[in-house]
């Protein structure tokens, strides 16, 4: 019997689909107290500590597979001696401790949220192109003002930094709007969505992408190489009419340099769904800049996340039982 422990509640349908993969699978949802302990919350009260200890023996010790987030406490390995594979429900892995997962198979949820995130990118491009930010401010002020600028997306250039699962979905939708698409990524392995890019670039071509793009979309993973990938120098390489859209990780951008560039009109605006500190502190100047859209790390939000996550996890579970290679195996040392 293969024991699968799910540490994030995604609904009864999600659990039922996993259980239906194979009669050799037993799927359990970690109780709330154990879930909090797995998130790193300490159980101080003796009664609660005893409860967590009992739940760890019942659920963690027999678990061969964990499905949930990767930010687990270090001592989880001592309580899960049979653990062999961890399936993350997130694409990002930069906060995972490589030492904790040594000798384990780790897979992420790359692609699960990509369609929703691509729709977010298209939505904010349209918001800036059609002047919706200013019109919303005018509405709140009861001000009728037709002195607005509006642009068409057709013919404009969308530069995508990180032409992976998310970037590919953005490229497909941007192409449907008659945009020119530049895609940049480190990997040379072809992907089906490459056909939507007018040009595929390497990291060395970043200055070209920045100089030619009307909308720069950041969808790359956070690694030591990509931290502060966009700083003052890169912002000055962009068009003054360009908009920066970040759905990757907050630390891809030097926020101090970005604030300065936005205040000085070095670029037209920014749509930011991720930040170096989350939640974004109330005193961050980004809140009050009129050329910035701030959203609370919600670009992945959508009504089909659990459905797509179940498809991925079920497929990987079948592969695991059959001894076949899993999808989305990641290298924690490399960062993706």
Q: Cite the active site residues.
A: 249, 278, 297
120, with CB counted inside 10 A (0-12, 13-18, 19+), is: buried
| Cα 90–Cα 196–Cα 327 angle in degrees, nearest 5 | 30
Cα–Cα distances in Å, from 135 out to 143, 257, 270, 308?
Answer: 9, 27, 17, 35
Between CA 196 and CA 176 the distance in angstroms is 9
Please name the residue ranges forming H helices in 194-304.
206-212, 232-237, 255-264
Between CA 132 and CA 127 the distance in angstroms is 5
Buried b (16+ CB within 10 A) or exposed e, 185-198: beeeeebebeebbe
**What are the backbone dihedrals phi and psi of residue 197, each rounded to the nearest 5 degrees, phi first?**
-95, 135
Give the Cβ contact number of residue 24 at 10 Å: 8
């Amino acid at each position: 019997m293969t024991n699968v422990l799910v540490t994030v509640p995604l609904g009864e349908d999600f659990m039922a689909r996993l259980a239906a993969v194979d009669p050799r699978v037993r799927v359990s949802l970690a109780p709330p107290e154990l879930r909090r302990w797995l998130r790193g919350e300490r159980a101080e009260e003796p009664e609660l500590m005893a409860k967590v200890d009992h739940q760890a023996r019942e659920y963690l010790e027999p678990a061969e597979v964990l499905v949930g987030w990767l930010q687990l406490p270090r001592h989880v390995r001592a309580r899960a001696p049979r653990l062999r594979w961890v399936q993350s429900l997130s694409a990002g892995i930069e906060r995972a401790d490589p030492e904790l997962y040594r000798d384990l198979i780790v897979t992420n949820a790359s692609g699960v949220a990509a369609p929703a995130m691509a729709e977010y990118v298209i939505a904010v491009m349209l918001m800036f192109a059609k002047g919706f930010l200013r019109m919303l401010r005018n509405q709140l002020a009861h001000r009728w003002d037709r002195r607005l600028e509006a642009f068409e997306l057709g013919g404009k250039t969308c530069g995508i930094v990180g032409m992976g699962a998310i970037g590919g979905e953005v490229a497909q939708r941007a192409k449907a709007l008659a945009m020119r698409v530049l895609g940049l990524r480190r990997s040379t392995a072809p992907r089906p969505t490459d056909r939507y890019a007018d040009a595929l670039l390497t990291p060395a071509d970043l200055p070209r992408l920045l100089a030619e793009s009307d909308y720069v979309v950041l969808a790359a993973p956070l690694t030591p190489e990509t931290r502060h990938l966009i700083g003052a120098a890169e912002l000055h390489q962009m068009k003054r009419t360009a908009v920066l859209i970040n759905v990757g990780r907050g630390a891809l951008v030097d926020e101090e340099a970005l604030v300065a560039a936005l205040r000085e009109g070095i670029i037209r605006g920014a749509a930011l769904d991720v930040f170096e500190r989350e939640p974004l502190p109330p005193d961050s100047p980004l809140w009050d800049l009129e050329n910035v859209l701030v959203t609370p790390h919600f670009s992945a939000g959508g009504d089909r996340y659990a459905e797509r996550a179940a498809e991925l996890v079920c497929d990987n579970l079948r592969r695991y039982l059959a001894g076949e290679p899993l999808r989305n195996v990641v290298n924690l040392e490399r960062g993706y």
